[in-house]
Structure 1
Amino acid sequence: MKESLLKSVAGKTLAFGLEWLPLIESLGIREARRRAGRYRASHFVLASDKTAAVGLANIPRRKASVMNRHVIFSAAQNVATLYQSGTWVVCLNLAPDCWWLVAVHEGVVVMRTDILAPDPESFDAVVMELRRAYPRMVYLQSGRDKDAPSLGLLAQHAGQISVLQERRRMWVGAPVWVSGTIVSLVVGVVIFAGFSEPETATDSEVLATTTQGHERRWRAAQEAALDQVVVHGVQGTHRLLEALYGVAVTPAGWRLEHVECLPARQLWHCAAQFLRRHPATDIQALESALPASWSLEPRDLDRVSAIWSVPYLGLTLAQMHIATAAESRKTWLGILQRSSIAFDRIIWGKAKPFAIAAPIDSHGNALPRPDGLTAYQSRSLQLSGPLRSYVLLLADLNAIRWSRARLSIKDKVVPGARASQLHLLLEGEFHERVE
């Protein structure tokens, strides 16, 4: 993690540049502390047990001593406290050649914001992605917009909900004689162990060091594998459904046949197939009726492919809370069962282990998997039904990666709970933790 920036404002210390991760409601401080440990953060901020995000800070030890004398507040969480509804993007000047940008949505800090750069223009790509994801967002920049909050205002809103907490509970403030007694006892135990069985102790230390090294390498390999898998989740799926709803069915004398969308990292690549239905229309008329950003590719005299991309802010599996298999059975499987009345087909696949390349030792041999290391698995998922039915599942599509989406137009169909002219097939996989 990058080092967090500390700045004193109106007698209060504010922290900038935290890394924000999603957090399922009710998991609370224990899960927040676990996330902080995984990312080797020194501190974290959690507004409450109902907050949907946790902020992780990296404050070096030389600065962490400040925690014993002063309370440090998350500047991003102060912005979230200031703007409880709507979507707000705030860009403030902290110092010469140092600007800060944060986005909050409905009082929650948006992931991959709370970032620093030398100038506001460095945030253009981020702001563009945010505007696509949140079309109604409000952007406020210091020195340009009079409504932009000042650092002093953020300091005024600093409170208990924005206080940074240490990842590890330290014995701060203990009497000196207590600390001295504990240290003496520990030293005495070490000395006694050293004189009693030197050879056994040495062997044990070597074994322990080797085991810990292997475990660290395995955890690093697992973290790297999880970080390679970008999941669509609620937002990525919502962006896809929104794009499909926006495709015209009969534009300028043409007829939509189907739409095929395939995922890439942070993008959906979509292609819509149109059939010319009226002899007086042409490709220029179709081009005028479709969004200007779409590109048209004729397939023959009467068929044209329209191609475009849909961006979304995806997260990797390493950045998400992944439910256990038991939790999936209790919640996700039940949701699928209750929603099956609105789909013509739902396939819940068998679990298969999540593939992780074992780290190699100096001799080229794979290191054995350490006991107690968390395991992960995936299940294939196929959904088929009316486009309108997917709203029933949208709020629960978390650790899911889609591999294909196909929207078909069915002319000869009797509308019903499981049938509609707009029919969507979604194929992918979701992930679970094995305990």
Structure 2
Amino acid sequence: MLAFGLRWFALIGSNVPKLARSRGRRLRATHYVVGGAPATVAGFGRARPGLRRSRPAWSSHGAGVSPPQAAAQLFALLYPEGAHSLVRLPDGRHWLAAAQGGAVLSQADKLFGSLEEARREQQALLALRPGLREQDGELVWAAMMRAVEPGAALAALPSRWAELPLALRVFLVCIGLAAAAPPLWNTAFITFVGPTAVKPEPASVPDPQVDAYRALVHATLAHAPAELGRLLAGVGKLPIQVSGWALRRAQCDSDALQWNCAAVYVRAHPQATNHGLYALLPDGWQVSFKPLEEATLMWRMASGALRLADMTLPAALHVDTQVVGGLQGLRPAFASVSLSPAAPLMPLMPRMAAAPQTHTGQAAPSLPDMPVIRRRALVLHGPLRSMALLPGPISAARWSRLVVNVQPQLQPSLTSSALVAELQGDIYEQE
């Protein structure tokens, strides 16, 4: 069984499996595959809900294979030197495949209903990757029907609960049973024996969930609209070439009060030395060397954070129309824009409008109505210059990570550049 039409993303970091699972959960995927070396990419797909317990609902042809294989990753393994092909599938659709250096290209693994549309996308791909060799579609299909590669097998994305150690899961279940057993016993006892007299309590009983929700809203931070511009300006000051050293990638991660940034430089000239680079290090920066060929510069930047409780959050309808509409207008400047469905800031949080009750069953004074806050994960991938268009229509967001890679391009375009960036964050709204 072959799976087509996965979404592919580059992974940057040392713990690739953990990064892949984390990205898959943000995308609400059910299966994933990791491939490529030294550049690592991951493909993500989502099975139809009705078939997840039996078999994934992938596009399949030929004899059933368990587990299913990612067609694009299988193509990359069959042609590790780099290739592209337009394959006609038995159902009449056309599949565009492309890989380079054993890694699937994010512009490929797409299905088209017409040959003309597929060829237009193929020409756009070749404009970005003119060095790729074309493979005959029929030969590619025949080779894929025969091939079985463990490296192309799709893995089911485990839940966070399933990843916990068995001992910890048993411990948490026991805690839950210990918390639920007394109320159940009291209910059963009252049913058979009868209620006992309870002294009235004039004071209301606070709702722990309400208190927890208030604390969460006051503790959750968002960035001011100008914060992203400050971050981009700081990263933009990094020199591409300095004293014979060349920038390869940079990454900034956000915590409560600051940005933690790192930039990787490699020796690009025989006269480049560690001492020469260290002498140019700005005040407050740190450096670590992989002694002969690579250096990592580390620094921090202050972050202007605001509490969600102090902000006026946009309504969900405003986000669906104005914010999403603004992102749609910016979409041509990016290679990809991903926005997840809204999820509650605090899962299983009840509505606040209902008044709590005392032990006597009398309604206590009602709590002030608190809106239900939700968030959506936003991921933008494209040229670094396109990030300057943000925050644009986004008024309430917390940016978590900015990654910049230096990838020389033979022919830069609107959505491709030598400086390729990925920006991750959450945008907030209220019901």
TM-score by length of 2: 0.47
TM-score by length of 1: 0.47
